[in-house]
Homo-oligomer: A and B are copies of this chain.
Protein backbone atom coordinates (compact mmCIF):
# COMPACT_ATOMS: atom_id res chain seq x y z
CA UNK A 1 0.00 0.00 0.00
CA UNK A 2 1.40 3.46 -0.87
CA UNK A 3 2.05 5.79 2.10
CA UNK A 4 -0.99 7.79 3.18
CA UNK A 5 -1.08 11.44 2.18
CA UNK A 6 0.11 13.78 4.92
CA UNK A 7 -3.35 15.08 5.86
CA UNK A 8 -4.62 11.53 6.36
CA UNK A 9 -1.61 10.68 8.55
CA UNK A 10 -2.43 13.67 10.72
CA UNK A 11 -6.14 12.84 10.82
CA UNK A 12 -5.20 9.31 11.84
CA UNK A 13 -2.98 10.60 14.68
CA UNK A 14 -5.81 12.68 16.06
CA UNK A 15 -8.41 9.94 15.79
CA UNK A 16 -6.09 7.73 17.86
CA UNK A 17 -5.83 10.48 20.45
CA UNK A 18 -9.59 10.89 20.54
CA UNK A 19 -10.26 7.16 20.78
CA UNK A 20 -7.64 6.81 23.49
CA UNK A 21 -9.56 9.41 25.53
CA UNK A 22 -7.03 12.19 25.07
CA UNK A 23 -9.79 14.46 23.76
CA UNK A 24 -13.37 14.06 24.97
CA UNK A 25 -16.75 14.86 23.47
CA UNK A 26 -17.33 18.62 23.72
CA UNK A 27 -13.63 19.47 24.02
CA UNK A 28 -12.32 22.28 21.86
CA UNK A 29 -10.12 20.79 19.16
CA UNK A 30 -6.67 22.32 18.50
CA UNK A 31 -6.84 25.31 16.13
CA UNK A 32 -5.63 25.16 12.54
CA UNK A 33 -2.77 27.45 13.59
CA UNK A 34 -1.83 25.05 16.41
CA UNK A 35 -1.87 22.04 14.07
CA UNK A 36 0.26 23.91 11.54
CA UNK A 37 2.83 24.75 14.19
CA UNK A 38 2.98 21.44 16.07
CA UNK A 39 2.89 19.27 12.96
CA UNK A 40 4.94 21.61 10.77
CA UNK A 41 2.44 21.47 7.93
CA UNK A 42 0.76 24.00 5.66
CA UNK A 43 -2.62 25.50 6.40
CA UNK A 44 -4.09 23.50 3.52
CA UNK A 45 -2.90 20.22 5.04
CA UNK A 46 -4.19 21.15 8.50
CA UNK A 47 -7.58 22.17 7.10
CA UNK A 48 -7.84 18.95 5.10
CA UNK A 49 -7.04 16.86 8.16
CA UNK A 50 -9.84 18.58 10.07
CA UNK A 51 -12.25 17.98 7.19
CA UNK A 52 -11.43 14.29 7.28
CA UNK A 53 -12.03 14.13 11.03
CA UNK A 54 -15.32 15.92 10.44
CA UNK A 55 -16.25 13.39 7.76
CA UNK A 56 -15.52 10.61 10.21
CA UNK A 57 -17.95 12.20 12.65
CA UNK A 58 -15.21 12.95 15.20
CA UNK A 59 -15.28 16.75 14.91
CA UNK A 60 -17.96 19.34 14.49
CA UNK A 61 -17.31 22.84 13.19
CA UNK A 62 -18.97 25.66 15.10
CA UNK A 63 -19.15 28.92 13.17
CA UNK A 64 -16.68 31.51 14.45
CA UNK A 65 -15.56 29.17 17.24
CA UNK A 66 -13.54 26.42 15.57
CA UNK A 67 -13.77 22.64 15.84
CA UNK A 68 -15.10 20.61 18.76
CA UNK A 69 -14.86 16.90 19.48
CA UNK A 70 -18.17 15.42 18.55
CA UNK A 71 -18.67 11.72 18.83
CA UNK A 72 -15.99 9.48 20.19
CA UNK A 73 -17.88 6.36 19.13
CA UNK A 74 -17.56 7.27 15.50
CA UNK A 75 -14.63 5.48 13.98
CA UNK A 76 -13.51 4.64 10.54
CA UNK A 77 -10.08 3.11 9.98
CA UNK A 78 -7.96 5.19 7.67
CA UNK A 79 -6.90 2.26 5.56
CA UNK A 80 -10.46 1.65 4.36
CA UNK A 81 -10.54 4.98 2.54
CA UNK A 82 -12.86 7.86 3.14
CA UNK A 83 -16.00 6.85 1.34
CA UNK A 84 -17.80 3.55 0.86
CA UNK A 85 -18.30 2.72 -2.80
CA UNK A 86 -21.70 3.77 -4.07
CA UNK A 87 -22.70 0.26 -5.10
CA UNK A 88 -21.35 -1.47 -2.06
CA UNK A 89 -24.51 -3.13 -0.83
CA UNK A 90 -22.81 -4.33 2.32
CA UNK A 91 -22.00 -0.78 3.44
CA UNK A 92 -23.78 0.56 6.50
CA UNK A 93 -26.72 2.88 5.93
CA UNK A 94 -25.33 6.26 4.97
CA UNK A 95 -26.18 8.81 7.57
CA UNK A 96 -23.80 11.70 7.62
CA UNK A 97 -24.36 14.73 5.51
CA UNK A 98 -21.15 14.67 3.55
CA UNK A 99 -22.12 11.31 2.08
CA UNK A 100 -25.21 12.84 0.48
CA UNK A 101 -22.80 13.78 -2.29
CA UNK A 102 -21.01 10.52 -2.49
CA UNK A 103 -19.35 9.63 -5.72
CA UNK A 104 -20.00 12.85 -7.63
CA UNK A 105 -17.18 15.29 -8.26
CA UNK A 106 -15.68 15.11 -4.84
CA UNK A 107 -14.63 18.71 -4.45
CA UNK A 108 -18.00 20.19 -5.40
CA UNK A 109 -19.72 17.68 -3.18
CA UNK A 110 -17.57 18.43 -0.17
CA UNK A 111 -18.08 22.13 -0.53
CA UNK A 112 -21.85 21.82 -0.86
CA UNK A 113 -22.01 19.52 2.15
CA UNK A 114 -19.94 21.97 4.14
CA UNK A 115 -22.12 24.92 3.10
CA UNK A 116 -25.12 23.13 4.60
CA UNK A 117 -23.42 22.82 7.96
CA UNK A 118 -23.04 26.54 8.68
CA UNK A 119 -25.66 29.19 9.25
CA UNK A 120 -25.30 31.46 6.22
CA UNK A 121 -26.26 35.11 6.60
CA UNK A 122 -24.95 36.39 3.26
CA UNK A 123 -25.39 34.08 0.28
CA UNK A 124 -23.05 34.87 -2.62
CA UNK A 125 -23.39 31.29 -3.93
CA UNK A 126 -27.02 30.80 -5.03
CA UNK A 127 -27.28 32.18 -8.55
CA UNK A 128 -30.82 33.52 -8.54
CA UNK A 129 -32.26 36.92 -7.71
CA UNK A 130 -34.26 37.78 -4.59
CA UNK A 131 -38.07 37.26 -4.68
CA UNK A 132 -38.58 41.05 -4.61
CA UNK A 133 -36.72 41.31 -7.95
CA UNK A 134 -39.16 38.92 -9.60
CA UNK A 135 -42.80 39.71 -10.52
CA UNK A 136 -44.08 37.90 -7.46
CA UNK A 137 -47.48 39.57 -7.14
CA UNK A 138 -48.19 39.34 -10.85
CA UNK A 139 -47.34 35.63 -10.95
CA UNK A 140 -49.52 34.98 -7.92
CA UNK A 141 -52.43 36.71 -9.64
CA UNK A 142 -51.76 34.69 -12.80
CA UNK A 143 -51.71 31.45 -10.79
CA UNK A 144 -54.98 32.26 -9.04
CA UNK A 145 -56.55 33.09 -12.39
CA UNK A 146 -55.33 29.81 -13.92
CA UNK A 147 -56.87 27.89 -11.01
CA UNK A 148 -60.21 29.66 -11.56
CA UNK A 149 -60.20 29.16 -15.32
CA UNK A 150 -58.95 25.56 -15.25
CA UNK A 151 -60.51 24.12 -12.09
CA UNK A 152 -59.43 20.55 -13.00
CA UNK A 153 -55.79 21.44 -13.61
CA UNK A 154 -54.44 19.82 -10.42
CA UNK A 155 -56.41 16.60 -10.92
CA UNK A 156 -55.95 16.05 -14.65
CA UNK A 157 -53.10 14.06 -16.12
CA UNK A 158 -50.59 16.52 -17.62
CA UNK A 159 -50.39 16.49 -21.38
CA UNK A 160 -47.39 15.35 -23.35
CA UNK A 161 -44.25 17.38 -24.10
CA UNK A 162 -45.41 20.39 -22.07
CA UNK A 163 -48.41 22.73 -22.17
CA UNK A 164 -49.11 24.01 -25.70
CA UNK A 165 -49.59 27.60 -24.51
CA UNK A 166 -46.19 27.75 -22.80
CA UNK A 167 -44.51 26.12 -25.78
CA UNK A 168 -46.18 28.65 -28.08
CA UNK A 169 -45.16 31.68 -26.00
CA UNK A 170 -41.58 30.44 -25.66
CA UNK A 171 -41.32 29.76 -29.39
CA UNK A 172 -42.70 33.21 -30.21
CA UNK A 173 -40.37 34.97 -27.79
CA UNK A 174 -37.40 32.98 -29.04
CA UNK A 175 -38.01 34.60 -32.44
CA UNK A 176 -37.10 37.93 -30.79
CA UNK A 177 -33.62 36.46 -30.42
CA UNK A 178 -33.23 35.18 -33.95
CA UNK A 179 -34.34 31.60 -33.47
CA UNK A 180 -36.99 30.14 -35.76
CA UNK A 181 -38.76 27.61 -33.58
CA UNK A 182 -42.30 26.26 -33.60
CA UNK A 183 -44.14 25.25 -30.45
CA UNK A 184 -43.76 21.62 -31.58
CA UNK A 185 -39.96 21.94 -31.58
CA UNK A 186 -39.90 22.58 -27.81
CA UNK A 187 -39.87 20.25 -24.83
CA UNK A 188 -40.64 21.60 -21.36
CA UNK A 189 -38.28 20.26 -18.66
CA UNK A 190 -37.67 20.41 -14.91
CA UNK A 191 -35.30 23.34 -15.09
CA UNK A 192 -32.36 23.73 -17.44
CA UNK A 193 -30.50 21.03 -15.54
CA UNK A 194 -32.94 18.35 -16.71
CA UNK A 195 -32.62 19.70 -20.25
CA UNK A 196 -28.81 19.39 -20.10
CA UNK A 197 -29.07 15.88 -18.66
CA UNK A 198 -31.51 14.81 -21.38
CA UNK A 199 -29.31 16.31 -24.08
CA UNK A 200 -26.34 14.31 -22.78
CA UNK A 201 -28.38 11.11 -22.51
CA UNK A 202 -29.65 11.62 -26.06
CA UNK A 203 -26.26 11.98 -27.74
CA UNK A 204 -23.74 10.20 -25.49
CA UNK A 205 -23.10 6.79 -24.01
CA UNK A 206 -21.21 5.91 -20.86
CA UNK A 207 -17.50 6.59 -21.20
CA UNK A 208 -17.84 9.19 -23.97
CA UNK A 209 -15.77 12.38 -23.97
CA UNK A 210 -17.65 15.70 -23.80
CA UNK A 211 -15.89 19.01 -24.47
CA UNK A 212 -16.72 21.67 -21.86
CA UNK A 213 -15.52 25.17 -21.19
CA UNK A 214 -12.84 25.68 -18.55
CA UNK A 215 -14.08 26.91 -16.14
CA UNK A 216 -17.66 25.71 -16.50
CA UNK A 217 -20.86 25.55 -14.43
CA UNK A 218 -20.32 22.91 -11.76
CA UNK A 219 -23.73 21.35 -12.49
CA UNK A 220 -22.38 20.34 -15.90
CA UNK A 221 -19.44 18.54 -14.28
CA UNK A 222 -21.80 16.76 -11.89
CA UNK A 223 -24.16 15.72 -14.68
CA UNK A 224 -21.23 14.35 -16.70
CA UNK A 225 -19.88 12.41 -13.76
CA UNK A 226 -23.30 11.03 -12.80
CA UNK A 227 -23.73 9.75 -16.36
CA UNK A 228 -20.25 8.26 -16.54
CA UNK A 229 -19.05 10.78 -19.16
CA UNK A 230 -15.57 12.30 -19.35
CA UNK A 231 -15.17 16.08 -19.44
CA UNK A 232 -12.50 17.47 -21.74
CA UNK A 233 -11.80 21.03 -20.64
CA UNK A 234 -11.28 23.54 -23.44
CA UNK A 235 -9.47 26.80 -22.59
CA UNK A 236 -11.98 29.62 -22.23
CA UNK A 237 -11.02 33.25 -21.79
CA UNK A 238 -12.83 35.85 -19.76
CA UNK A 239 -12.77 38.15 -22.80
CA UNK A 240 -13.77 35.95 -25.73
CA UNK A 241 -15.20 32.79 -24.21
CA UNK A 242 -14.48 29.32 -25.55
CA UNK A 243 -11.27 29.03 -27.60
CA UNK A 244 -12.36 27.85 -31.04
CA UNK A 245 -8.78 26.96 -31.96
CA UNK A 246 -8.46 24.67 -28.97
CA UNK A 247 -11.88 23.16 -29.64
CA UNK A 248 -10.99 22.48 -33.26
CA UNK A 249 -7.79 20.77 -32.24
CA UNK A 250 -9.75 18.59 -29.81
CA UNK A 251 -12.40 17.73 -32.41
CA UNK A 252 -9.65 16.92 -34.86
CA UNK A 253 -7.37 14.76 -32.80
CA UNK A 254 -8.87 13.82 -29.43
CA UNK A 255 -8.96 10.06 -28.78
CA UNK A 256 -11.46 8.74 -27.85
CA UNK A 257 -13.28 11.32 -29.96
CA UNK A 258 -15.37 14.18 -28.59
CA UNK A 259 -19.05 13.14 -28.72
CA UNK A 260 -20.64 16.44 -27.72
CA UNK A 261 -19.73 20.04 -26.90
CA UNK A 262 -21.43 21.92 -24.03
CA UNK A 263 -21.14 25.68 -24.20
CA UNK A 264 -22.62 28.85 -22.65
CA UNK A 265 -21.90 31.40 -25.39
CA UNK A 266 -23.86 34.26 -23.78
CA UNK A 267 -23.12 35.48 -20.23
CA UNK A 268 -21.06 32.47 -19.34
CA UNK A 269 -21.24 30.95 -15.87
CA UNK A 270 -18.94 31.64 -14.03
CA UNK A 271 -16.95 33.98 -16.31
CA UNK A 272 -19.74 36.42 -17.18
CA UNK A 273 -18.39 36.87 -20.72
CA UNK A 274 -20.09 36.43 -24.09
CA UNK A 275 -18.80 35.20 -27.42
CA UNK A 276 -19.09 37.53 -30.42
CA UNK A 277 -21.74 36.77 -33.05
CA UNK A 278 -18.97 35.81 -35.46
CA UNK A 279 -17.57 33.32 -32.95
CA UNK A 280 -21.00 31.86 -32.19
CA UNK A 281 -21.55 31.31 -35.89
CA UNK A 282 -18.08 29.78 -36.25
CA UNK A 283 -18.74 27.50 -33.27
CA UNK A 284 -21.91 26.13 -34.85
CA UNK A 285 -20.13 25.62 -38.17
CA UNK A 286 -17.21 23.88 -36.48
CA UNK A 287 -19.43 21.43 -34.61
CA UNK A 288 -21.41 20.76 -37.77
CA UNK A 289 -18.24 20.10 -39.76
CA UNK A 290 -17.19 17.45 -37.25
CA UNK A 291 -20.79 16.18 -36.88
CA UNK A 292 -20.65 16.68 -33.13
CA UNK A 293 -23.80 17.97 -31.42
CA UNK A 294 -23.50 21.36 -29.73
CA UNK A 295 -25.41 21.60 -26.44
CA UNK A 296 -26.06 25.28 -25.72
CA UNK A 297 -26.90 26.50 -22.21
CA UNK A 298 -28.47 29.94 -22.53
CA UNK A 299 -30.06 30.68 -19.17
CA UNK A 300 -28.40 34.02 -18.35
CA UNK A 301 -28.74 35.98 -21.62
CA UNK A 302 -31.94 37.74 -20.63
CA UNK A 303 -30.65 38.87 -17.25
CA UNK A 304 -29.05 41.80 -19.07
CA UNK A 305 -30.61 44.58 -21.16
CA UNK A 306 -27.48 44.48 -23.25
CA UNK A 307 -28.02 40.86 -24.20
CA UNK A 308 -31.79 40.61 -24.20
CA UNK A 309 -31.87 40.57 -27.99
CA UNK A 310 -28.53 38.85 -28.50
CA UNK A 311 -28.60 35.74 -30.63
CA UNK A 312 -27.82 32.37 -29.13
CA UNK A 313 -25.69 29.95 -31.17
CA UNK A 314 -28.95 28.14 -31.99
CA UNK A 315 -29.84 31.11 -34.25
CA UNK A 316 -27.17 29.89 -36.70
CA UNK A 317 -28.33 26.28 -36.59
CA UNK A 318 -29.61 25.33 -40.03
CA UNK A 319 -29.78 21.55 -39.70
CA UNK A 320 -30.90 20.80 -36.14
CA UNK A 321 -27.44 20.03 -34.81
CA UNK A 322 -27.65 22.46 -31.85
CA UNK A 323 -29.52 21.32 -28.72
CA UNK A 324 -30.69 24.54 -27.13
CA UNK A 325 -31.35 24.48 -23.35
CA UNK A 326 -32.78 27.27 -21.26
CA UNK A 327 -34.99 27.99 -18.28
CA UNK A 328 -37.21 30.51 -16.55
CA UNK A 329 -35.50 29.97 -13.18
CA UNK A 330 -33.09 32.89 -13.52
CA UNK A 331 -35.21 35.44 -15.34
CA UNK A 332 -38.75 34.86 -14.06
CA UNK A 333 -39.43 32.50 -11.17
CA UNK A 334 -36.93 30.19 -9.45
CA UNK A 335 -39.85 28.54 -7.63
CA UNK A 336 -41.57 27.32 -10.80
CA UNK A 337 -38.66 25.07 -11.83
CA UNK A 338 -39.47 25.49 -15.52
CA UNK A 339 -36.86 24.70 -18.12
CA UNK A 340 -37.14 24.08 -21.84
CA UNK A 341 -35.16 22.81 -24.75
CA UNK A 342 -35.18 22.65 -28.54
CA UNK A 343 -33.29 19.48 -29.33
CA UNK A 344 -33.28 19.70 -33.13
CA UNK A 345 -32.68 16.35 -34.76
CA UNK A 346 -32.58 14.65 -31.36
CA UNK A 347 -36.01 15.87 -30.34
CA UNK A 348 -37.70 12.49 -30.77
CA UNK A 349 -35.11 10.77 -28.62
CA UNK A 350 -35.14 13.53 -26.00
CA UNK A 351 -38.92 13.33 -25.73
CA UNK A 352 -38.85 9.59 -25.20
CA UNK A 353 -36.07 9.87 -22.61
CA UNK A 354 -38.03 12.61 -20.85
CA UNK A 355 -41.12 10.43 -20.86
CA UNK A 356 -39.18 7.46 -19.56
CA UNK A 357 -37.39 9.48 -16.85
CA UNK A 358 -40.01 11.80 -15.39
CA UNK A 359 -43.08 12.04 -17.68
CA UNK A 360 -44.50 15.56 -18.05
CA UNK A 361 -44.64 18.63 -15.85
CA UNK A 362 -47.57 19.80 -13.81
CA UNK A 363 -49.55 22.36 -15.77
CA UNK A 364 -50.39 24.97 -13.13
CA UNK A 365 -46.86 26.36 -13.16
CA UNK A 366 -46.61 26.16 -16.95
CA UNK A 367 -49.85 28.05 -17.54
CA UNK A 368 -48.99 30.61 -14.86
CA UNK A 369 -45.71 31.43 -16.60
CA UNK A 370 -47.32 31.35 -20.06
CA UNK A 371 -50.11 33.70 -19.00
CA UNK A 372 -47.66 36.30 -17.70
CA UNK A 373 -45.12 35.90 -20.52
CA UNK A 374 -47.87 36.33 -23.10
CA UNK A 375 -48.47 39.90 -21.90
CA UNK A 376 -46.57 43.15 -22.42
CA UNK A 377 -46.31 43.33 -18.64
CA UNK A 378 -43.59 40.71 -19.03
CA UNK A 379 -41.46 43.01 -21.18
CA UNK A 380 -41.87 45.87 -18.70
CA UNK A 381 -40.98 43.54 -15.84
CA UNK A 382 -37.90 42.23 -17.65
CA UNK A 383 -36.55 45.75 -18.16
CA UNK A 384 -36.99 46.50 -14.41
CA UNK A 385 -35.37 43.18 -13.49
CA UNK A 386 -32.36 43.86 -15.70
CA UNK A 387 -31.98 47.36 -14.25
CA UNK A 388 -32.10 45.98 -10.72
CA UNK A 389 -29.38 43.42 -11.46
CA UNK A 390 -27.25 46.08 -13.09
CA UNK A 391 -27.59 48.19 -9.93
CA UNK A 392 -26.48 45.29 -7.74
CA UNK A 393 -23.64 44.45 -10.12
CA UNK A 394 -22.31 48.00 -10.04
CA UNK A 395 -22.51 48.03 -6.28
CA UNK A 396 -20.58 44.75 -6.07
CA UNK A 397 -17.92 45.95 -8.49
CA UNK A 398 -17.48 49.16 -6.50
CA UNK A 399 -17.31 47.37 -3.17
CA UNK A 400 -14.68 44.98 -4.50
CA UNK A 401 -12.57 47.83 -5.85
CA UNK A 402 -12.88 49.63 -2.53
CA UNK A 403 -12.09 46.67 -0.25
CA UNK A 404 -9.62 44.72 -2.36
CA UNK A 405 -7.98 47.49 -4.36
CA UNK A 406 -5.81 45.93 -7.05
CA UNK A 407 -5.34 42.71 -5.12
CA UNK A 408 -8.03 40.94 -7.09
CA UNK A 409 -8.59 40.98 -10.84
CA UNK A 410 -12.04 40.89 -12.29
CA UNK A 411 -13.74 41.28 -15.63
CA UNK A 412 -16.54 43.83 -15.33
CA UNK A 413 -19.26 41.73 -16.93
CA UNK A 414 -21.92 43.14 -19.23
CA UNK A 415 -24.74 41.30 -17.51
CA UNK A 416 -25.70 38.33 -15.43
CA UNK A 417 -25.64 37.98 -11.67
CA UNK A 418 -22.10 36.91 -10.91
CA UNK A 419 -18.49 38.04 -10.75
CA UNK A 420 -15.42 35.89 -11.29
CA UNK A 421 -12.49 37.08 -9.17
CA UNK A 422 -8.85 36.18 -9.53
CA UNK A 423 -7.26 36.16 -6.09
CA UNK A 424 -3.58 36.81 -5.35
CA UNK A 425 -1.32 33.79 -5.83
CA UNK A 426 -0.80 33.37 -2.11
CA UNK A 427 -4.56 33.17 -1.38
CA UNK A 428 -6.14 29.80 -2.15
CA UNK A 429 -9.86 30.23 -2.87
CA UNK A 430 -10.83 27.20 -0.81
CA UNK A 431 -9.26 28.56 2.37
CA UNK A 432 -10.75 31.98 1.74
CA UNK A 433 -14.20 30.49 1.18
CA UNK A 434 -13.83 28.33 4.27
CA UNK A 435 -12.87 31.28 6.48
CA UNK A 436 -15.69 33.40 5.06
CA UNK A 437 -18.19 30.58 5.55
CA UNK A 438 -17.23 30.44 9.21
CA UNK A 439 -18.31 34.12 9.28
CA UNK A 440 -21.62 33.28 7.61
CA UNK A 441 -20.58 34.42 4.10
CA UNK A 442 -21.11 31.77 1.42
CA UNK A 443 -19.16 31.96 -1.87
CA UNK A 444 -18.25 29.47 -4.60
CA UNK A 445 -14.52 28.63 -4.65
CA UNK A 446 -12.99 28.30 -8.11
CA UNK A 447 -12.15 24.57 -7.92
CA UNK A 448 -15.92 23.85 -8.15
CA UNK A 449 -15.82 24.98 -11.76
CA UNK A 450 -13.20 22.62 -13.11
CA UNK A 451 -12.32 18.95 -12.94
CA UNK A 452 -8.64 19.93 -13.01
CA UNK A 453 -6.73 21.72 -10.25
CA UNK A 454 -6.73 24.90 -12.31
CA UNK A 455 -9.03 27.31 -10.54
CA UNK A 456 -7.42 27.27 -7.09
CA UNK A 457 -7.12 31.07 -7.01
CA UNK A 458 -10.51 32.04 -8.38
CA UNK A 459 -13.78 32.79 -6.64
CA UNK A 460 -17.32 33.13 -7.99
CA UNK A 461 -19.60 35.62 -6.30
CA UNK A 462 -23.29 35.80 -7.15
CA UNK A 463 -24.94 39.03 -6.12
CA UNK A 464 -28.51 38.44 -7.29
CA UNK A 465 -30.02 37.13 -4.07
CA UNK A 466 -28.56 39.73 -1.69
CA UNK A 467 -29.21 43.37 -0.82
CA UNK A 468 -26.88 46.33 -1.32
CA UNK A 469 -26.15 46.26 2.42
CA UNK A 470 -25.28 42.57 2.28
CA UNK A 471 -22.98 43.20 -0.67
CA UNK A 472 -21.09 45.85 1.33
CA UNK A 473 -20.96 43.79 4.47
CA UNK A 474 -20.12 40.48 2.77
CA UNK A 475 -17.31 41.91 0.67
CA UNK A 476 -15.85 43.62 3.73
CA UNK A 477 -15.82 40.25 5.54
CA UNK A 478 -14.19 38.58 2.52
CA UNK A 479 -11.47 41.25 2.44
CA UNK A 480 -10.86 40.73 6.15
CA UNK A 481 -10.55 36.97 5.69
CA UNK A 482 -8.12 37.49 2.85
CA UNK A 483 -5.96 39.72 4.99
CA UNK A 484 -5.89 37.02 7.69
CA UNK A 485 -4.92 34.38 5.15
CA UNK A 486 -2.20 36.59 3.68
CA UNK A 487 -0.71 36.95 7.16
CA UNK A 488 -0.62 33.17 7.77
CA UNK A 489 2.44 31.05 6.90
CA UNK A 490 1.90 29.12 3.71
CA UNK A 491 4.65 26.52 3.48
CA UNK A 492 5.70 23.52 5.53
Interface of A toward B, CB cutoff 8 Å: 86-87, 89-94, 99-104, 109, 116, 126, 128, 131, 134-137, 139-140, 143-144, 147, 151-158, 160, 190-191, 193-194, 197, 201-206, 219, 222-223, 225-226, 228, 291-293, 319-321, 333-337, 344-349, 351-353, 355-365, 368, 465
Contacts and interface: CB of A to CB of B under 8 A. Distances in A.
11 contacts: A92-B345, A93-B320, A100-B352, A103-B352, A154-B336, A155-B335, A197-B356, A223-B357, A337-B360, A337-B362, A362-B362
Contacts of A197: 356-358
B206 A206 contact: yes
B131 A345 contact: no
A356 B89 contact: no
How many copies of this chain sit in the oligomeric assembly?
A: 2
A345 B193 contact: no
Contact of A348 (B99, B116, B137, B153): B99
A337 B363 CA distance: 9
Nearest to A206: B206
A467 to B, nearest CB: 15
Nearest to A116: B160
A331 to B, nearest CB: 11
A-B CB proximity, top 9 nearest: A134-B155, A131-B152, A94-B348, A93-B345, A190-B358, A131-B155, A93-B320, A226-B356, A154-B335
Contacts of A143: 143, 147, 154, 364
A206 B154 CA distance: 36
A104 B356 contact: yes
Nearest to A92: B345
A136 B154 contact: yes
Contacts of A321: 89
A202 to B, nearest CB: 7
Given A140-B151, A365-B364, A101 B193 contact: no
A191 B155 contact: no
A194 B223 CA distance: 16
Contacts of A219: 356
A130 to B, nearest CB: 8
A191 B144 CA distance: 24
Contacts of A335: 152-158, 362-364
B334 A156 contact: yes
Most buried by B among A128, A137, A143: A143
Contacts of A191: 358-359
Contacts of A356: 104, 193, 197, 219, 222-223, 225-226
Contacts of A90: 291
Contact of A333 (B103, B154, B190, B352): B154
B157 A140 contact: no
A397 B11 CA distance: 68
A103 to B, nearest CB: 7
B368 A365 contact: no
A349 B140 contact: no
A321 B144 CA distance: 43
Contact of A359 (B103, B136, B190, B360): B190
A228 B203 contact: no
Contacts of A160: 116
A139 B219 CA distance: 34
A89 B139 contact: no
Contacts of A87: 203-205
A137 to B, nearest CB: 7
A362 B134 CA distance: 16
A144 to B, nearest CB: 6
B157 A203 contact: no
Contacts of A337: 158, 359-362
A86 B103 CA distance: 28
Contacts of A347: 93-94
> Which of A128, A147, A156, A360 counts the most B-chain CB atoms under 10 A from its CB?
A156
A86 B202 contact: yes
Contacts of A193: 356-359
B319 A93 contact: yes
A325 to B, nearest CB: 13
B140 A156 contact: no
Contacts of A144: 144, 147
Given A222-B356, A347-B94, A352-B100, A137 B151 contact: yes
A321 B101 CA distance: 19
